[in-house]
Structure 1
């Protein structure tokens, strides 16, 4: 859900917008949707590890990197989904999402099944999938300072709260100055996604049975317990899902453990 370390960028294709990164030249295509407060370059390690077999495209999501700004008159999740779809190939692709990006990927698989060949969900933060459990309450408590910070229009305070909970172990004040400058003005995006993640405003959970493709669920073994509960719910309710836990990894598993994540994906995407 948070950025962890995302300062690396993949190679930029000549003639394409810098809001899109592309790796590899494989016959099959994959589209990668990053987490909140990151950008397409966050996928560099994982994409390079799979570039021998796939052509991988990662767009900056709405409000991130060089992508279009979020339009507050629109639903943020819906706007993000529509913009992401604009970067899909014509043929069905392997779709991969991390954290918030995983919830967008899940929605695309539900609403546009013909566009998705396989779906990989890495630590999807669909908190609405979890009931009133101790893990859910603990997560809510770690984020309790967000509402007062947003009410006071103190985006830096909001960033500190958010990073403490979902920054992959990186305290806000310990981040490089450029990264802090990137995160703070984008904190309203966290608030904009709240109703979908916490209340399922996109109506994803009742439609899980509509996912027609195989699904790979990946999580870190050291992640917050609420992630395991979310993954268990998805594994139970999706028609064709398998689950992989990467030992020692946390929420930023596709960045911190890119090689392990790629290894988990290789057989799933057919390579």
Structure 2
């Protein structure tokens, strides 16, 4: 969300041909068509699933990590390994943590302050010090993407895709690697705790001095952990 498939270019460079990587832009992102207001999580999941013709390795970041989990729960036989960076499946966190997360953006939504919401959101989840444009096409697209975030957050809070359904995570036999940045929002660690407690074959890693955008800021460490999980598979 609010990124593009180029997020995985540093990973590809560090893995140096170890595996073939295929990444795609979400609707309203990168070079994909505009979002039409439909169920984004469902659209992305169906597209990703359509690319699977044999057991393979899924690597997901943030929203994408929840998509990877959804596929793995629905078709565990299709997954060889899962490498997940901070899946934002907020429903797995405690109610107080969910409420605190909602409260971070609620005042801006209530007042219609999309630029203020962008600054707050990217201060939590973006790259440190990244410039946020306020004019021009890039700024307009960021505001539209922010609306997508607001719409999908509710689905992730309520787990509308039923990723956390009874017995679902427990059926994933493939090795899972949960990666987090030490400086990321606290809720991501709580989510990882909840997921790890239910996954049969799980490893965890926390990268020091890293935040949510660690695939870009700490690409070498991310690649090392990804390679470790690929070898486990």
With the length of structure 2 as denominator, give the TM-score of the two structures. Answer: 0.88
Of the three residues 72, 90, 98, the one matched with 2:53 is 90
By percentage of residues, which structure has more strand? Answer: 1
> How far off is 1:148 after superposition?
1.4
RMSD over aligned CA atoms reads 2.3
CA pair 210-250 structure 1, distance change in 2 beyond 3 A: same
Alignment-derived partner of residue 230 in structure 2: 269
Distance 1:109 1:45 in 2: 25
Q: Specify which of 73, 81, 89 is matched with residue 45 of structure 2.
A: 81
| Structure 1 residue 241: Cα displacement | 1.2
Quickly say closer, same or farther: Cα 1:146–1:190, change in 2 above 3 A.
Answer: farther
Unaligned runs of 5+ in 1: 1-35
Report whether the alignment pairs 1:211 with 2:172.
Answer: yes
Q: CA deviation at 1:68?
A: 3.5
Q: Distance in 2 between matches of 1:196 and 1:210?
A: 23
Distance 2:104 2:128 in 1: 13
Q: 2:15 aligns with which of 50, 63, 68?
A: 50
The TM-score, its normalising length taken from structure 1, stands at: 0.77
User: SS of the residue aligned with 2:2?
Assistant: coil
Q: 1:214: Cα distance to partner?
A: 1.4
Q: Is the contact made by 2:181 and 2:210 (CA closer than 8 Å) also made in structure 1? A: yes
How far residue 226 of structure 1 moved from its aligned partner, in angstroms, is 1.0
- Alignment coverage as a number of residue pairs: 230
Which one scores higher on RCO, CA 8 angstroms, separation ≥ 6? 2
C-alpha separation in 1, matches of 2:183 and 2:61: 16
Contact 1:46 1:259 in 2 (8 A): yes
Q: Which secondary structure does the structure 1 equivalent of 2:230 belong to?
A: coil
